[in-house]
Structure 1
Amino acid sequence: MDDDDVDEDKERFAAMYDACRMRVWAYAVSRVGAQAADEVVSETFMVAWRRFAEMPAASLPWLLGVARNVIRDSARAQVRRDSLAAELRRWTEEATADVADGVVDRLTLLRALTELSDADREVLTLIAWQGLAPREAARVLGCTTPALRVRLHRARKRLAEAAQTSSGRGRRAVDSIEMGLS
């Protein structure tokens, strides 16, 4: 594809974007509200740009179908996040604070895990709960082993901070499972 073809595609895409953006946005608002609509529109047009050659001449129905899929995928992801958060909350509610220090540390860590981002929670659980080696976890996350180690270090630090905030036992709780996270 030469520069003229690329420029022509950019112009056609810009014209299609200008013609359809507000209608895709209105559709998204009707499904997910104004706050999330901008993200849905962005993802929809990102897909449209990647698959521009496949887009039919009547682009609006195709774009609305993509927006629908983006919304559906986002809802599925939210259900997964909510389910995990509910499971973590259930585990913390089942634990009692007046038993052995190990249980208290576990409770502290579970509460702290609910405070972390999905990305931090994922890297920690791949290593500690799934028992993956850093190289294996890096493969799962699609990054290099050194990048995984940096992410793991930062996630551990945020976990300790969240545990400290929740109970004052953060460093001790994280130290108690440090061997499982290395």
Structure 2
Amino acid sequence: MAIDTEDEFTDVYRAHYEDVLRFVRRRAHPMNVDDIVGETFLAAWRRRSELPEDPRPWLFGTARKAMLNAHRGQRRQTAVAVRVMENGGDDSYDGMIEAEDRMDLVAAWRRLSAADQEVLALHVWEGLTDRAAATVLGCSRAAYTMRLSRSKRRLAKLFGPTSQTTSAPALTR
């Protein structure tokens, strides 16, 4: 999808800005969100002739790299779980998880590695297909699918023993 004009880029920006903003807000410190989103779209502008037909996964991948640069050494995924708890969860989960189970899920989430948290967040919160999530992570679809399966098992193992629920409800869509 070669973008030749400013108007074409504006259309891409308008179509994907909110998604990129939500993606970054879930992962980055609030003070860094605007800078990271700005860097993401600046990179898109600079590489506009190389953008794929569906730029959303590419934008997420670029935002992810900008966050890694801005937050090297920090475990930003813990903030994702805390924000979900503070906000009462995404609408799709309302009523599915009791308060006690939510606390158990947050505790299990915090015990996961940052890599497992990222794989699960791309699937659950961003709703990306396996192929799109693989693009974000810079791996093959098969590698992402395997990582997702393993991450789900690890979360279920951490979540299962302390919960009355037999599986992690947040993983079903």
TM-score normalised according to structure 2 size: 0.47
Which has the larger share of helix? 1
Higher relative contact order (CA 8 A, sep 6+): 2
TM-score normalised according to structure 1 size: 0.45
